[in-house]
């Protein structure tokens, strides 16, 4: 049985300001009306002998990942939560342990959640081509047939010869990102492929090779997995053990050191969507070779990507530019320098600015909230609660709250009493009073919250009950619940 393992732990900093730490690119609908995570799952439909999807993600993304998977699969196979990022090799190791505990002789198909593959039939064919080798103990990687001398990817050199140039072949070496002249030589030779970061191997075979090449990593992963706890639909790895694990990619930790590596060529319209220029390439162009998203007006603009999310964006006399607008940030960059967007994110991190982490609209398992206005001693938010959902039972030491219902019905607990509010009705939550907000209706509940007090930080919260299991979740305490 093939167990698809979706690696969804990335942060996508080069797609800032749309992609942010708590809402990264794989959870966004960047190329179609489905998110990149959902597209990754849907393209598996034609692969034979496929088992339930296993997804590995950052624990802060768990509710978004679960909801998106349910939308396209109707159920969850398994979601493994990483307390901190440790790159792809540890993620693959714990996925292998998980699969071995659930299935007999599982073969893992590891796929990053943030890639685009337009030809799903070619992907299915490549998986079928590599399956026999993987079942026999080989570690299979998929090498993208290069469309040009790309300097932004690592390359795989395959053993040449044989009648079928698209068949599974031994790997000779992995090479780092080349300069342009070297990349041109690689493409002309016909024996090099772009390194896709996609793999197919037996779970036990990968663990055997990891034990040979990095026993310290394997031991940390084993301890983190053995001490893992079940949290609702999630498997939460032990924080201490996993945090102590060495951080490395599958390539560096295993594939470059093993003698069992083979490569299957893949020509399937692949793109790793590593920067805004990739979205300019992937989306439909207008007559001036522009990609325009949202409310955008242009005059004498060419070869540009302009994305508006919350207001009108107008541009005049531009060429080869990237403009991305969100409610709290605007990016303007030359199309040939978008890889440097991560430098802006680093500056935001150093300055401890929230724009690197979250959007003004923040997603929670119960719905969303959006900051409308904030100043000294007050803050205004728009809160949307999904039907049947509820916030935690909580109190605040430094702020009071005023709630005004603008749509739907609210069931509110205040100081042990329950009240029901309809549209245009309001209530007051005194400082220090335990309270809960629920939506008992069948349509989304929308309300305006006005916070007043001496301190409005989101770490001013004490939970005593939460249906989403977040009472002991220290990562969530500093964010609204």
Q: Is a pLDDT exceeding 90 seen at residue 469?
A: no
Mean of pLDDT values over 94-100: 97
Q: Give the pLDDT confidence of 256-296 residue by residue, as tens digits.
A: 999 999 999 999 999 999 999 999 999 999 999 999 999 99
Helices and strands in the chain: count of H runs, count of E runs: 11, 30
Mean of pLDDT values over 401-417: 96
| Sequence-distant (≥ 6) Cβ neighbours of residue 77 within 8 angstroms | 3, 51, 52, 53, 54, 55
Beta carbons of 451 and 399 less than 8 angstroms apart: yes
DSSP string, 263-323: EEEE-S-EE---SHHHHHHHSPP-TTS-EEESSEEEES-BS-EEEESSS-EEEES-BSEEE
The pLDDT score that the predictor gives to residue 477 is: 37
Q: Give the Cα separation of 21 and 114 in Å (integer).
A: 14
Beta carbons of 275 and 341 less than 8 angstroms apart: yes
Q: Give the Cα separation of 320 and 338 in Å (integer).
A: 11
Beta carbons of 446 and 367 less than 8 angstroms apart: no
The phi and psi torsions of 340 (rounded to 5 degrees) equal -85, 0
Q: Give the pLDDT confidence of 115-127 residue by residue, as tens digits.
A: 999 999 999 999 9
CA angle at 37 for the pair 32 and 38, rounded to the nearest 5°: 60
Two tokens, residue 47:
């692969």
Query: What global pTM score does this model have?
Result: 0.88
Q: Give the Cα separation of 208 and 445 in Å (integer).
A: 52
Q: Cβ atoms within 10 A of the Cβ of 343, count?
A: 11
Q: Give the Cα separation of 414 and 149 in Å (integer).
A: 64
Q: Give the Cα separation of 254 and 314 in Å (integer).
A: 49
Q: Give the pLDDT confidence of 22-51 residue by residue, as tens digits.
A: 999 999 999 999 999 999 999 999 999 999
Beta carbons of 158 and 143 less than 8 angstroms apart: yes
Q: Is a pLDDT exceeding 90 seen at residue 155?
A: yes
Q: Is a pLDDT exceeding 80 seen at residue 374?
A: yes
Strands (E), 327-409: 329-334, 361-364, 367-375, 378-385, 393-395, 399-407
The phi and psi torsions of 48 (rounded to 5 degrees) equal -80, 155
Tell me the domains of the chain and their CATH numbers. 2-271 (3.90.550.10), 276-341 (no CATH), 361-465 (2.60.120.10)
Q: Is a pLDDT exceeding 60 seen at residue 215?
A: yes
Q: Integer distance in angstroms from the first to the last C-alpha of the chain? A: 40
Q: Give the Cα separation of 426 and 184 in Å (integer).
A: 67
């Amino acid at each position: 049985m093939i167990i698809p393992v979706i690696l969804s732990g990335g942060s996508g900093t080069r797609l800032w300001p749309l992609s942010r730490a708590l809402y990264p690119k794989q959870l966004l609908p960047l190329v179609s009306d489905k998110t990149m995570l959902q597209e990754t799952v849907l393209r598996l439909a034609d692969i034979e002998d496929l088992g339930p999807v296993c997804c590995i993600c950052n624990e802060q993304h768990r509710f978004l990942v679960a909801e998106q998977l349910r939308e396209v699969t109707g159920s969850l196979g398994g979601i493994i939560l990483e307390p901190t990022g440790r790159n792809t090799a540890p993620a693959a190791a714990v996925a292998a342990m998980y699969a071995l505990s659930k299935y007999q002789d599982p073969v893992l198909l590891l796929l990053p959640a943030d890639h685009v593959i337009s030809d799903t039939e070619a992907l299915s064919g490549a998986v079928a081509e590599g399956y026999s080798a993987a079942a026999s103990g080989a570690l299979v990687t998929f090498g993208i047939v290069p469309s040009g001398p790309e300097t932004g990817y690592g390359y795989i050199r395959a053993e040449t010869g044989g009648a079928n140039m698209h068949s599974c072949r031994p790997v000779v070496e992995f090479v780092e990102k080349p300069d342009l002249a070297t990349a041109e030589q690689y493409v002309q030779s016909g024996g090099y492929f772009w390194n896709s970061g996609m793999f197919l191997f037996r779970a036990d075979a990968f663990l055997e090779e990891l034990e040979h090449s990095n026993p310290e990593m394997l031991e940390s992963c084993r301890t983190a997995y053995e001490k893992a706890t079940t949290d609702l639909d999630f498997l939460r790895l032990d924080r201490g053990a996993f945090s102590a694990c060495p951080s490395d990619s599958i390539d560096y930790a295993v594939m470059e050191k093993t003698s069992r590596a083979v490569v299957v060529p893949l020509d399937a319209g692949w793109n790793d969507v590593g920067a805004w220029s990739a979205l300019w390439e992937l989306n439909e162009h207008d007559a001036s070779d522009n990609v325009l998203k949202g409310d955008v007006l242009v005059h004498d603009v060419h070869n540009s990507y302009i994305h508006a999310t919350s207001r009108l964006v107008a541009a005049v006399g531009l060429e080869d530019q990237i403009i991305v607008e969100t409610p709290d940030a605007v990016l303007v960059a030359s199309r040939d320098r978008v890889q440097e967007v991560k430098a802006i994110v680093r500056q935001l991190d150093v300055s401890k600015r929230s724009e690197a982490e979250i959007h003004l609209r923040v997603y929670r398992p119960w719905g969303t909230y959006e900051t409308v206005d904030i100043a000294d001693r007050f803050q205004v938010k728009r809160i949307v609660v999904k039907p049947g959902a509820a916030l935690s039972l909580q109190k605040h030491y430094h702020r009071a709250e005023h709630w005004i219902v603008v749509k739907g019905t609210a069931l509110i607990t205040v100081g042990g009493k329950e009240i029901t509010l309809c549209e245009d009705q309001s209530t007051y939550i005194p400082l220090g009073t335990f309270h809960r907000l629920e939506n008992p209706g069948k349509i989304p509940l929308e309300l305006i919250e006005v916070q007043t007090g001496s301190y409005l930080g989101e770490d001013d919260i004490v939970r005593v009950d939460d249906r989403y299991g977040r009472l002991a979740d220290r990562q969530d305490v500093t964010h609204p619940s």
